[in-house]
Amino acid sequence: MSYQLSPEEMEVAAQLTAYFTPPVEGFPTIEEADPDGRVLELAIAQLVPQQQEQMRAAFARAAGQPIATYLASLRETNPVEYEFLRVIFVGRYLTCRPVWKVLGYPGRVPTPIDESEVAYFLRDNLLDGPRRRGPVYRQVPAEHGATSPTSAEWA
Amino acid sequence: MTIRRGTYDATKFDASPTDVADVVIIGAGPSGATYAKYLSSWGFHVVCLEQGRWYSNTEYLGAKDEYEMSLYGKWSKDANVRQAWEDYPTELSESDMIPVMYNAVGGATIHFGGHWARMLPSDFRVRTLDGVADDWPISYDDLTPFYDETDIEWAAAGLDGDPAYPPGAAPFPQPAFPIHAVGRKVAEGMNKLGWSWWPGANSIARKPVGDLVPCVRYGTCEAGCPNGSKASADVVQWPAALKNGATLVTGARVSEILTDERGLASGVVFLDRNGTERRLRAEQVILAANGIGTPRLLLMSQSKRHPNGLANSSDMVGRNLMLHPHSMVVGVFEEEFNTWLGPVGQNVQSYEFYETDKTRGHVRGAKWTSLCIGGPMAMGTMIPRGPVGAHGEDLLRDIKRMMGHAIMMVVVSEDLPNPENRVLLDPRLKDPSGLPAPKVIYKIDQNSKDLLAFHRARQREVLEAAGAYEIHEHELLNDEPGHLLGTARMGDDPETSVVNSFGQAHDVPNLRIADGSVFVTSAGVNPTSTIVALALRGAQEMVRQASELEVPL
């Protein structure tokens, strides 16, 4: 079952959203990127139950406080909790497709391999370099039971 | 009643206390699965007890928008974050690194990247060549035929002829992956410097093989392959083992390996998710619970005859933990590379500085690898920022500038064994079944720190030669890579090692250890290929011994 934010938690979440994902020129606002809050729900749903409880407790501590002052203090006194909150809200923003579009990120889409790609990326005799370099492994004394060819033998 | 064949949950286990399995295997990851498949093909009735469960491709989130966010929660690499029933907590207050692990059918191969690398000849002769650690009781040549065989099973995809390796290996069964624009850029830098590199080898299908389908490059290998292309033990080994008649019991948490009056292993005690305790007798016990779980269970299996834990007369159980500290160097380029294009398996590898050169001030070396980066959340971590990350305009400008333009190179360093780096039982922390959690004591030594610094500096040179206009060094990736090695090491001397070269415990001849615990040294390569090659070698020896009745059956 997905986690449901209470009205009080929604208020804290809105403040944390404003702090961690403020409007930045050239990027969609959070209201444009996640207009109905669906991505925030999705982000919170990725947390395990213990993390959701941790989030609930963190929200309760932040409630009623000037958020910027509170987070500036939290960053110094409890960087783990600060980072936890940062990941939720920044992660939520970076999960939004309108943001991906601005970043030039196409998302994870199936891209079958064209057989010509192997040769294409090795074009212009790229492998001549390592072939000229030759063996780089070390000779192992045969008296210790190994019979591996040495670099000299390989060459 | 006999023990039912097939796979089912421990709550449905209905064998009687008098039933005796030929072999019980603890852990359904790659080493346990290797034993299960091979032994079952020879008619052994194998019963594997796995505390995790089966996953299907449809549960992996790689194709979903929320994938990156899930890596911080449900699909975290850290069991202390996931806190699922099948996980156990790990006490880490004295550890420099997080030991990544996964408990499921397939084990750590559910979340490994598919990097498929053999060790090199010198790795087996570290004491002889460099005067540190110990030599292995086997050589590279001893393992070569097993590497060749497991390459086929694991759909190893690569380009033959890497001059960094001795000749003589069988051809790769699958063609190489394209190195992509990322790998080409790294290779161009290497070529300018005259350094060795080669297209990377991966255990990821390029062509249809068995139950695997060709990779479509989601680039999400490290949290399960949603396409069913990555070779993981649940896909490439367990179906065959079950067809052979093996039994795989999920949700079964083993709490103790039992011994008889002769000191031999006689079976196991395990708990299901309801807390019901069950016992299973067996002629042979194979422990494949990873480099943390294996020593934990041996230490939990104390008895009057084995007061320091099972198979621990040497006091080596739990010691010499090696975790392969990784560094990373990130270069930013003007060009666009589609750096999100998978697989997470490596596109280019290099062994240029793998071997010891004592003028560097440290011994041993590292393999390098370059690989895809992923999406925006991953890109946001590419600039080291200390304990907390950035947000707002600073972060978004960096991500936009780097998205598709950043290349990362990773140092897979050799980690030398140190008896003080170890796994113990924590006196306070318990798992969900009330069993003692492991406590990990692990400090990165000066040799590793010097080694990593040297390699970062060389990788910086590569990226500079390739044209990077901005470079960032990450000293330590403390939640990578999940290589858990050395805690029940092999050797010829029972006073200094836990098992022989086939994984057979010196103290308990019908107990075998199959996982990375048996490594004498860590080498500087990803270990899964070696783990399964060693397991296959051990399994073949076990069949040979059974045919000669060298151990009680």
Task: State whether A126 and B191 contact (CB < 8 Å).
Answer: yes
Q: Which residues of chain B are within 8 Å of residue A142 when distances are taken between CB atoms?
A: none
Q: Which residues of chain A are within 8 Å of residue B180 when distances are taken between CB atoms?
A: 117, 121
pLDDT of residue B552: 54
pLDDT of residue A40: 97
Q: What is the pLDDT of residues B337-387, one digit of tens each?
A: 999 999 998 999 999 999 999 999 999 999 999 999 999 999 999 999 988
Instruction: Determine phi and psi for B228, rounding to 5 degrees.
Output: 70, 40
What is the enclosing helix (H) or strand (E) of B287? strand B277-287
Rounded to an integer, the average pLDDT of B437-441 is 98
**Residue B348 is assigned to a structural domain of this protein:** yes
CB of A87 less than 8 A from some CB of B:
yes
User: What is the model's pTM?
Assistant: 0.96
Whether the per-residue pLDDT at A127 is higher than 70: the answer is: yes
Q: Is the peptide bond before B343 cis (omega within 30 degrees of 0)?
A: yes
Instruction: Specify the range with the lowest mean pLDDT, choosing from A72-76, B400-404, B480-484.
Output: B480-484
Q: Which residues of chain B are within 8 Å of residue A24 when distances are taken between CB atoms?
A: 392-393, 396-397
**Residue B63 is assigned to a structural domain of this protein:** no
Distance of alpha carbon A97 from alpha carbon A108, whole angstroms? 11
pLDDT of residue B1: 65
Q: Which residues of chain B are within 8 Å of residue A136 when distances are taken between CB atoms?
A: 163-164, 196, 351-352, 354-355
Interface test with A, best of B388, B397, B414, B520 (most A CBs within 10 A): B388
Percent of chain B at pLDDT exceeding 90:
96
Q: Which residues of chain B are within 8 Å of residue A46 when distances are taken between CB atoms?
A: 66, 69-70, 72-75
CB of A148 less than 8 A from some CB of B:
yes
* Averaged pLDDT score across all residues of chain B: 96
Among A25, A36, A24, CA closest to A90: A24
Q: Residue B281: pLDDT band by 50, 70, 90 thresholds?
A: very high
pLDDT of residue A139: 84
3-state secondary structure B118-159: CCCHHHHCHHHHHCCCCCCCCCHHHHHHHHHHHHHHCCCECC
What is the enclosing helix (H) or strand (E) of A27? none
pLDDT of residue A82: 98
Give yes or no for a contact between B198 and B190, defined as CB atoms under 8 angstroms apart. Answer: no
Interface test with A, best of B357, B379, B396 (most A CBs within 10 A): B396
Q: What is the pLDDT of residues A1-22, one digit of tens each?
A: 467 899 999 999 999 999 999 9
Q: Residue A152: pLDDT band by 50, 70, 90 thresholds?
A: very low
Q: Which residues of chain B are within 8 Å of residue A100 when distances are taken between CB atoms?
A: 375-376
pLDDT of residue B550: 53
State the Rg of chain A over Cα.
26
Q: Residue B303: pLDDT band by 50, 70, 90 thresholds?
A: very high
pLDDT of residue B551: 55
Q: Which domain holds residue B31?
A: 6-58+73-548
**Residue B553 is assigned to a structural domain of this protein:** no
Handedness of CA B9, B14, B18, B20 (dihedral sign): negative
Give yes or no for a contact between B216 and B229, defined as CB atoms under 8 angstroms apart. Answer: yes
Q: What is the pLDDT of residues B247-270, one digit of tens each?
A: 999 999 999 999 999 999 999 999
Give yes or no for a contact between B49 and B86, defined as CB atoms under 8 angstroms apart. Answer: no
Nearest CA in chain B to A47: B73
Q: Which residues of chain A are within 8 Å of residue B69 when distances are taken between CB atoms?
A: 42-43, 46, 91-92, 95
Q: Which of B122, B191, B395 sits opposite A90 (nearest CB)?
A: B395
Closest approach of A37 to chain B, Cα-based (Å):
14
Task: State whether A103 and B400 contact (CB < 8 Å).
Answer: yes
pLDDT of residue B481: 86
Give the ipTM of the model, two decimals please. 0.94
What is the enclosing helix (H) or strand (E) of B244? none
Distance of alpha carbon B525 from alpha carbon B35, whole angstroms? 23
pLDDT of residue A149: 39
The interface residues of chain A toward chain B in range 7-36, judged by CB-CB distance below 8 A, are 19-22, 24, 26-27
Interface test with B, best of A124, A137, A153, A154 (most B CBs within 10 A): A137
Q: Which of B125, B356, B400 sits opposite A146 (nearest CB)?
A: B125
Question: Position of tokens 């809050």?
Answer: A37
Among B225, B207, B237, B213, CA closest to B114: B225
Closest approach of B23 to chain A, Cα-based (Å):
32
Burial of B169 (0-12, 13-18, 19+ CB in 10 A): middle
Whether the per-residue pLDDT at A109 is higher than 50: the answer is: yes
CB of A131 less than 8 A from some CB of B:
yes
The DSSP line for B316-373 is -TT-S-B---EEEEEEE-SS---TT-S-SS-SEEE-TT-S--GGGSS---EEEEEE--
Q: Which residues of chain B are within 8 Å of residue A98 when distances are taken between CB atoms?
A: none
CATH number at residue B34: 3.50.50.60
**Residue B496 is assigned to a structural domain of this protein:** yes
* Averaged pLDDT score across all residues of chain A: 91
pLDDT of residue A144: 46
Task: State whether B128 and A148 contact (CB < 8 Å).
Answer: no
CB of A56 less than 8 A from some CB of B:
no
Task: State whether B141 and A146 contact (CB < 8 Å).
Answer: yes
Q: Residue A155: pLDDT band by 50, 70, 90 thresholds?
A: very low
Closest approach of B63 to chain A, Cα-based (Å):
6
The DSSP line for B63-99 is TSTTHHHHTTTTT-S-HHHH--TT----EEEEESS--
Mark residue B495 as left, alpha or beta (left: phi above 0; alpha: psi -120 to 50; beta: remaining). alpha
Task: State whether B183 and A121 contact (CB < 8 Å).
Answer: yes
Q: What is the pLDDT of residues B31-61, one digit of tens each?
A: 999 999 999 999 999 999 999 999 999 999 9
Q: What is the pLDDT of residues B75-118, one digit of tens each?
A: 999 999 999 999 999 999 999 999 999 999 999 999 999 999 99
Q: Which residues of chain A are within 8 Å of residue B219 when distances are taken between CB atoms?
A: 108
Distance of alpha carbon B344 from alpha carbon B349, whole angstroms? 13
Among B445, B446, B498, B443, CA closest to B318: B498
Nearest CA in chain A to B374: A108
Mark residue B463 as left, alpha or beta (left: phi above 0; alpha: psi -120 to 50; beta: remaining). alpha
In terms of pLDDT, which residue wins out, A154 or B197? Answer: B197
Closest approach of A101 to chain B, Cα-based (Å):
11
Instruction: Determine phi and psi for A102, rounding to 5 degrees.
Output: -65, -35
Closest approach of B498 to chain A, Cα-based (Å):
21
The total number of structural domains that make up chain B: 1
pLDDT of residue A151: 38
pLDDT of residue B316: 98
Distance of alpha carbon B427 from alpha carbon B440, whole angstroms? 12
Whether the per-residue pLDDT at A146 is higher than 50: the answer is: no
pLDDT of residue B268: 98
